[in-house]
Amino acid sequence: MQQTQSIPETYLGVGYTRDKAGLPLEAVRVSVPRPTGDEVLIRVAASSLNPLEYKLADLNFMGRTPPVALGLDLAGVVAAVGRDVSGVSVGDAVAAMADLNGDGGWSATGGSGGEGGYAVSRRFLTARKPPSLSFRDAAALPMAFLSAFAGLYPAVQGGDTVYVPGGGGGVGHLAVQMASRALGAGLVISSGSTPQSIALARDSGAQHVFDYKREDIPAKIAGLTSGRGVDVVFDATYSEQGFVETAKTVRRGGSWIVLGVGPGRTTRLVETHSPVDAILAERGAEHVNVNLLRYFSEPATLDSEAQAFLQRGMALAMEWAARGLVVPHISQTVDSTVEAISAALQSLKSGHGAVGKVAVIVDHGLTREK
């Protein structure tokens, strides 16, 4: 293990201490991991919130033994590297995603630069941060960007018509930008339910944004496409009712791509009948599930091809952000305290969260340095 600075044995993280404890989170004393093999230890400067974090606290569906520290998006400085790591060195500024069945890097010390937060990531999930990109903005990208990338990068061809419902969401606004500005879609359509989410979807590059509470979106899209439908739907809304409506917008032979466990299983606790597959079958459309969590719950899926794909995604997240193509919209920034993170996650869980992303400053000292 290469290291050139003193690393503490433990730090005070933010997470859960009991199985299925839910929100609010608690301060948790956890060991600072020592990186081995292809692992990179990061002293965390900033992070962001994702729905996965409150779901892990609610359900502990990865079967972890508490205490578990959360905060899976990472941006910071490399503190140590494993023996198999090349391309990043101690002291480098990086962005990364922690393994989704591992510990994160939120620190309960309030971003004051006390003992700080530490987490490991794999080398293929770690990318150098461009100097023009702040730690805060870099930290808002990993999980949400990779989710959009895994769905859209293999599917969108130049000139395609793409529908991204919820284009004001944390994943959705990145997906709209990705389709319209980086992957060459010919027409990008989105939807929202508030003036703020509709405005963000439009600002992200969607040419048409509909209000899904007031408008018949399948009819609107049929009108825009002369009855044909869209080539690609990317649905990251986790809404069963929404899934049914978006499935009706796909053209014959098109692709309906859903983030997460998909139709009929949105609660993770109860599986219900969903008409989505029948709607897609009638159209001869492809049903694709994108689920980053699967790589960590089923390790055999994380083969060399998957690792190379995710490494490409992390590199493009940094490149496209530096070029202004796919840039996170951060509508709220909170300090890394138990209270602030719990409150922001509760707002996200209730569906009343801020549009775009919520950033977390884990170490003010680091964020001021670079």
Domains of the chain: 2-140+328-369 (3.90.180.10), 145-294 (3.40.50.720)
Q: What pLDDT was estimated at residue 272? A: 81
- Report the pLDDT averaged over residues 241-265: 93
- What dihedral angle (degrees, nearest 10) is formed by the CA atoms of 249, 330, 143, 148? 20
pLDDT tier at 214 (50, 70, 90 boundaries)? very high
pLDDT tier at 264 (50, 70, 90 boundaries)? confident
> Average per-residue pLDDT in the chain?
94
- Report the pLDDT averaged over residues 301-311: 97
Q: What pLDDT was estimated at residue 316? A: 98
> For residues 324 and 32, what is the distance between their CA atoms, to the nearest angstrom?
35
CA atoms within 13 A on the CB side of 77: 18
The structure's pTM equals 0.96
